[in-house]
Structure 1
Amino acid sequence: MFEFLLSDQNFVFSCALCLMLVLALLEGVGALIGFSLGNLIDQALPVDLDLDADVSAELVNPASGVTALLGWLCFAKLPFLVWLILALTSFSVSGYLVNATAQNLFNLLVPMYISLPLALLAMVWLTRLIGQPLARLLPKNESSAISSRSFVGKSARITIGTARRDLPAEAVLVDDFGQKHYILVAPEDDTELPAGTEVALLEKTERHFIVKALS
């Protein structure tokens, strides 16, 4: 058993499992003394992703970039430590299952260049599958006390894609405290706003901000 877990083909998965156990142990011990590692990490995160809306439908839009992908993975719907433990567990268990299946069927372990991509794909699917119901049971992650509604009237810069009325693009906004917020923006009219355009936020909709270019 230990030979299987510590084999070279399972090294990355063992590291992920060990990291998950250490984080869970630290959080458990911290809870006994009134200290939360998870809350500390949430407060220390330099980036707050504004993913209040369900952007899973916009995953097919390449302009949605990191925002849509992390939204689909329930990143902002869970405390970061919970999300990280879920992702690490899904990754390590998936990798072990790939190699255990190969060993039982073919009496060999799968090379890392095969097992690693398979484990990553399984991690993405499992994180989404488990994260959604888990998010309904746990309090929503609040990494910033600033409401996204307060962004109206501020300026941002489009970072990925070209924003169109029916195709939002990703933009970054820096608040008064120097914290970055990644948001989706679309113009108020039929103009196109390419990456690098500075825009003013006019209105917050369910999925994105309506903006206009700053001259």
Structure 2
Amino acid sequence: MDAVIHMEATMVDFMLTQANLPFTLSLAFVLILGVLEALSLCIGYSLVGALDDWAPSDIDSNGVGPHEVSGLTEIAAWLCLDRLPLLIWFVLVLISFSITGYISNYLSMAISNELLPQSVTLPIALFFTALSYRYVGALVGRILPKNGSCAVSIDALLGSVGTVTIGCAIKGDPSEALVKDQYQQQHCVLVEPELAGVEFSRGTRVVLLRREGTVWSAARFDS
């Protein structure tokens, strides 16, 4: 028991050293995002869907034709930004950054009994983070559908049919719904009834009628 306590104390000391501070802060930010997402889901909202609605669905550049790809778009594609919801991509970046930094300093401690300075570990962590979420992101992207891909803008979802997945939507208090576009890709959107006095409980099928900001007015869909 004493050995376990000592090991835990040593690990905490290792994570809280000045050399590991950026990596510990990154990991702490991931935990904060997890708590915020859990709380937002409790009130019928989702940070994942909200960030994807806020973010542009594609990246354009002045003078770039429809069959050309700008350098920025190539970088975004290489980093899997077009395959993952923005929040999940950001979490993968933070976790990869933290793990890579910890491993660098752990190996340094094992070899030389000293921690590397941040001027050394930060470039190493950033380099391996880019490689990590390039391949890990591609793997996750095959499993987890991205909201709003294949150049489908959020407005192109007009008339799409979806299912309320969280909470009970009423006028002025939207809930999250899962919608499929013409490519059968899934999108998380916020919906509310078009008319007051109507409720969309979980499992209700709805059709999107009009968008105001990030919220869609919808009507019950009876097939």
Q: TM-score, normalised by structure 1?
A: 0.58
Aligned match for 2:47, one of 37, 43, 46: 37
Cross-structure match for 1:3: 13
Identity %: 36
Is residue 42 of structure 2 the alignment partner of residue 74 of structure 1? Answer: no
Cross-structure match for 1:87: 93
Aligned match for 1:145, one of 137, 150, 154: 154
Question: C-alpha deviations, 1:48-71, integer Å up to 9, x for none?
Answer: 3259xxxxxxxxxxx842211110
The answer on whether the counterparts of 1:24 and 1:85 sit within 8 Å (CA) in structure 2 is no
The answer on whether the counterparts of 2:59 and 2:72 sit within 8 Å (CA) in structure 1 is no
Residue 146 (structure 1) shift: 4.9
Q: Secondary structure at the match of 1:76?
A: coil
Cross-structure match for 1:24: 34
The answer on whether the counterparts of 1:13 and 1:93 sit within 8 Å (CA) in structure 2 is yes
Structure 2 counterpart of 1:48, one-letter code: S
- Once residues 113 and 37 of structure 2 are traced to their aligned partners in structure 1, the CA distance between those partners, rounded to angstroms, is 39
Cross-structure match for 1:213: none
Structure with larger RCO (C-alpha < 8 A, sep 6+): 1
Q: Secondary structure at the match of 2:154?
A: coil
Residue 21 (structure 1) shift: 1.2
Is residue 108 of structure 2 the alignment partner of residue 99 of structure 1? Answer: no
- Once residues 141 and 87 of structure 1 are traced to their aligned partners in structure 2, the CA distance between those partners, rounded to angstroms, is 18
Larger Rg: 2
Is residue 126 of structure 2 the alignment partner of residue 130 of structure 1? Answer: no
Deviates more, 1:127-136 or 1:30-39: 30-39
Aligned residue pairs, count = 135
Cross-structure match for 1:49: 58
- Once residues 84 and 38 of structure 1 are traced to their aligned partners in structure 2, the CA distance between those partners, rounded to angstroms, is 11
- Once residues 16 and 58 of structure 2 are traced to their aligned partners in structure 1, the CA distance between those partners, rounded to angstroms, is 37
The answer on whether the counterparts of 1:16 and 1:92 sit within 8 Å (CA) in structure 2 is yes
Is residue 121 of structure 2 the alignment partner of residue 115 of structure 1? Answer: yes
Structure 1 counterpart of 2:115, one-letter code: L
The answer on whether the counterparts of 2:105 and 2:115 sit within 8 Å (CA) in structure 1 is yes
Runs of 4+ in 1 over 6 A off after TM superposition: none
The answer on whether the counterparts of 1:4 and 1:10 sit within 8 Å (CA) in structure 2 is yes
Structure 2 counterpart of 1:107, one-letter code: N
Residue 135 (structure 1) shift: 0.7
Unaligned runs of 5+ in 1: 52-62, 148-215
- Once residues 136 and 146 of structure 1 are traced to their aligned partners in structure 2, the CA distance between those partners, rounded to angstroms, is 25
Deviates more, 1:68-77 or 1:26-35: 26-35
Question: C-alpha deviations, 1:157-209, integer Å up to 9, x for none?
Answer: xxxxxxxxxxxxxxxxxxxxxxxxxxxxxxxxxxxxxxxxxxxxxxxxxxxxx
- Once residues 134 and 82 of structure 1 are traced to their aligned partners in structure 2, the CA distance between those partners, rounded to angstroms, is 10
- Once residues 73 and 155 of structure 2 are traced to their aligned partners in structure 1, the CA distance between those partners, rounded to angstroms, is 18
- Once residues 33 and 122 of structure 2 are traced to their aligned partners in structure 1, the CA distance between those partners, rounded to angstroms, is 22
Residue 141 (structure 1) shift: 2.8
